[in-house]
Amino acid sequence: MFGQLAYSEILRTLIEEGFLFCRFLEETSVESQKSICLRHDIDFSVSEALKMAMLEYDAGVKATYFFMCSSNTYNLFSKTNFNMIQEIRRLGHDISLHFDPTVYEDIDYGFRLEKDTFENFFKTKIGMVSIHRPGDFLKDNNRKFVGCRHTYEDDFIKKMVYISDSGGRNIFKKIFELSQLQGGVRLHVLIHPIWWINTSSDPTATLNIWLKTQHDFLVEETRRNCKTFQG
């Protein structure tokens, strides 16, 4: 929707205004420092996540990418997606789990299952997770997971300035206003790659572009896996 050039402009502005891009759970060295924790929840497409990771690499920026084990739109464990996620890591970014608590009756069991699976498959350790469409989870937003913190704790949405582009929300004005502040400011910014990789008029147009891409992909996969397919 907003486009890659627009995203690159936001990164350039934040860098020029002296923001330090930090990892979650990493403290800034100086209280007066402008800092930002940049986060991406991957709801739709691993390939679009990789495109965003490459833009950030070119800008010298590091972010954290959160992927779903329970996604209905991509297979986290396919060879193609595994290789793309590994490439995101090679570009210097962190990867972690985007957890949907509504999938499980026993949330703690589901979380342990997904955390262990993710860590074993990608050979990494998770210290921070993000919650998919938190909803009722926010009624007890400081609840703890075993051995892990999450992005909706007060430390990250109240003690930091939290900005999200969920649903295609336009965050340009807020970002540029905050970038002009003097003294210390700590930002927690959630960017969904789906809204930034393609340029379009509105969220529906962007999702229609993605749907067309998915259709083409499924046709090609069907052709590749079934010789008798005539589509």
- The tens digit of pLDDT for each residue in 166-197 reads 999 999 999 999 989 888 899 999 999 999 99
Q: Which residues contact 87 (CB under 8 A, 6 or more apart)?
A: 50, 53
Compute and round to an integer the Cα radius of gyration of the chain: 18
Residue 90, both tokens: 């090679």
Q: What average pLDDT does this structure show over 99-127?
A: 96
CA neighbor of 64 nearest in space, from 32, 42, 82, 33? 42
* Every domain of the chain and the residues it spans: 4-199, 203-231
- CATH for the 4-199 domain, from 3.20.20, 3.30.420, 3.40.710, 3.30.1360: 3.20.20
> Alpha helix (H) ranges present in the chain?
4-16, 46-59, 79-90, 107-122, 154-157, 172-179, 203-225
Number of helices followed by number of strands (H, E) in the chain: 7, 8
Taking only the tens place, the pLDDT of each residue in 145-171 is 888 999 999 999 999 999 999 999 999
Helices 79-90, 107-122: axis angle to 10 degrees equals 80
Has residue 31 got a pLDDT over 80? Answer: no
**pTM of the full predicted structure?**
0.95
State the DSSP code for 148. B
Has residue 27 got a pLDDT over 80? Answer: no
**Contact of 130 with 41, CB cutoff 8 Å:** yes
Q: Strands 149-150 and 161-164: what pairing?
A: unpaired
> Which amino acid, residue 84?
M
Q: How far is Cα 200 from Cα 2, in angstroms, rounded to an integer?
A: 7
What share of the chain has pLDDT > 90, as a percent? 85
Q: How far is Cα 145 from Cα 99, in angstroms, rounded to an integer?
A: 11
Q: What average pLDDT does this structure show over 14-25?
A: 92
Average pLDDT along the chain: 94
Taking only the tens place, the pLDDT of each residue in 39-94 is 999 999 999 999 999 999 999 999 999 999 999 999 999 999 999 999 999 999 99
Is residue 30 very low, low, confident or very high in pLDDT (cuts 50, 70, 90)? low
Q: For the chain, how are helix, strand and coil distributed in percent, rounded to 5?
A: 45, 20, 35
